[in-house]
A and B are shown apart, each in its own frame.
Chain A
Amino acid sequence: MELTTLLFYFFSLLTIGSAIFMVFSKNIVHAAFALMFTLLGVAALYVLLFADFIAATQILVYVGGILILILFGVMLTTKGFTDNLKTLTTNLRPVSVVMTLVAAGMIYVLLTTTWPVAEIAEPEGTITGLGTLLLKEYILPFQVTGVLLLVAIIGALLMATKVKHQQ
């Protein structure tokens, strides 16, 4: 068995295992930390797929940004101290049965389809190609995303500061 195979199984177990832990954990902070391990596992899978820049972006944006935002949201929206961090779970049994069936169906479809597989090229760094594409063919989406981020920041700021005026 090759090392990459072992790494693939290790990181996919990490990803799926901590995602399942998120479903069954009662404490929201535990779930947030499990989400961190899921995101790190997905980043490692990106590395195994030769997507080095996307893996770095995943760690920077998801683990360093979105997860911290989520933890801030948890801290700002819980009353009192740590004993109120429990969250409600409803309909867990029927939903998990249905979603297991859906997952089984999807895996069956994936296994019985023949996908077009191209020749695997030698792995090389993707950053140069990504930068060239981003400034040539994809210049319009690039600019539009910049505008979107600006709008999102202004919207979040407006909504967050309006809270103070109401009190």
Chain B
Amino acid sequence: MENELIQWLSQPGLTHYLMIGALLFCIGITLVLTRRNVIMILMGIELILNSVNLNFIAFSRFSVITLDGHLTALFLIILAAAEAAVALAIVLNIYNRFKTIDIDEISLLKG
């Protein structure tokens, strides 16, 4: 039993990487749910996107030996960059109008 555990620990396989991805995902969700600063929430979303990417790359390394996972990860990185640019422009607009980026204060639907 212990030997099996040590054997399992000493050979990082697909499960190890998927576990790292799951932990990163949960930490990202925690950041999104607990923080009240819009920029911190954006950082949480970046963590979630990274965990997804890690899963794609891990599967394309261990399960399917093709490069499709790599390409999906590449497109996801591009999407994350576009999302960050637009989101930060929106955050700057919010700051200019409300003078705060605390999401509890930003409660108007019609500015």
Binding partners A and B: yes
Chain A positions 47-69 with a Cβ under 8 Å from a chain B Cβ? 48-51, 53-54, 57-58, 61-62, 65-66, 69
Q: In the complex, what distance in Å separates the CA atom of A157 from the CA atom of B93? A: 12
Quick one: closest A residue to B28, CB to CB?
A19
Chain A, 135-155, CB within 8 A of any chain B CB: 138, 141, 145, 148-149, 152-153, 155
User: B62 contacts A73, CB within 8 Å?
Assistant: no
Which residues in B have their C-beta under 8 angstroms from that of A117?
13-14, 62-63
B60-95 CB mask vs A (1 if < 8 Å, else 0) is: 111111011011011101111111111011111101
Q: How far is the CB of B21 from chain A (nearest CB, A)?
A: 9
B58: nearest chain-A partner, CB-CB: A49
Q: Decide yes or no: A166 and B57 within 8 Å by CB, A51-B73, A87-B40, A89-B35 being known contacts.
A: no
A133-B71 in contact given A61-B81, A76-B92, A156-B85 (Cβ < 8 Å): yes
Q: Contacts A16-B27, A92-B34, A145-B78 known; A53 to B70 CB distance under 8 Å?
A: yes
Which residues of A sit under 8 angstroms from B80, Cβ to Cβ? 61-62, 66
Please state if A160 and B89 are interface contacts (CB–CB under 8 Å). Answer: yes
Smallest Cβ-Cβ distance to B24: which chain A residue: A19
Q: Once the chains bind, are A42 and B85 in contact (CB under 8 Å)?
A: no
A5 to B10, Cβ gap below 8 A?
A: yes
A contacts with B: majority SS: helix
Contact A115 B63 (CB under 8 A): yes
Interface positions of B from 1 to 21, Cβ below 8 Å from A: 10-20
State A166–B31 Cα separation when bound (angstroms). Answer: 33
**B84–A70 touching, CB < 8 Å:** yes
Find A1's partner among B10, B60, B92 (CB 8 Å cutoff). Answer: B10
- A45-B54, A103-B23, A130-B71 given as contacts; is B62 within 8 A of A120 (CB)? yes
Interface centre among B63, B74, B79 (most CB of A within 10 A): B74
When C-beta atoms are compared, the residue in chain A nearest to B8 turns out to be: A111
Partner of A88, one of B26, B28, B37, B47: B37
Flag if B92 contacts A163 (CB, 8 Å). Answer: yes
B interface residues, Cβ below 8 angstroms from A: 10-20, 22-31, 33-37, 39-40, 42-43, 46-47, 50, 53-54, 57-58, 60-65, 67-68, 70-71, 73-75, 77-86, 88-93, 95-96, 99, 101-102
**16 cross-chain CB contacts under 8 A:** A16-B23, A42-B54, A54-B57, A61-B78, A65-B84, A73-B39, A88-B36, A95-B33, A110-B19, A126-B70, A148-B82, A152-B85, A156-B88, A156-B89, A160-B92, A162-B93
In the A-B complex, the 3 residue pairs with the closest CB atoms: A152-B82, A159-B89, A103-B26
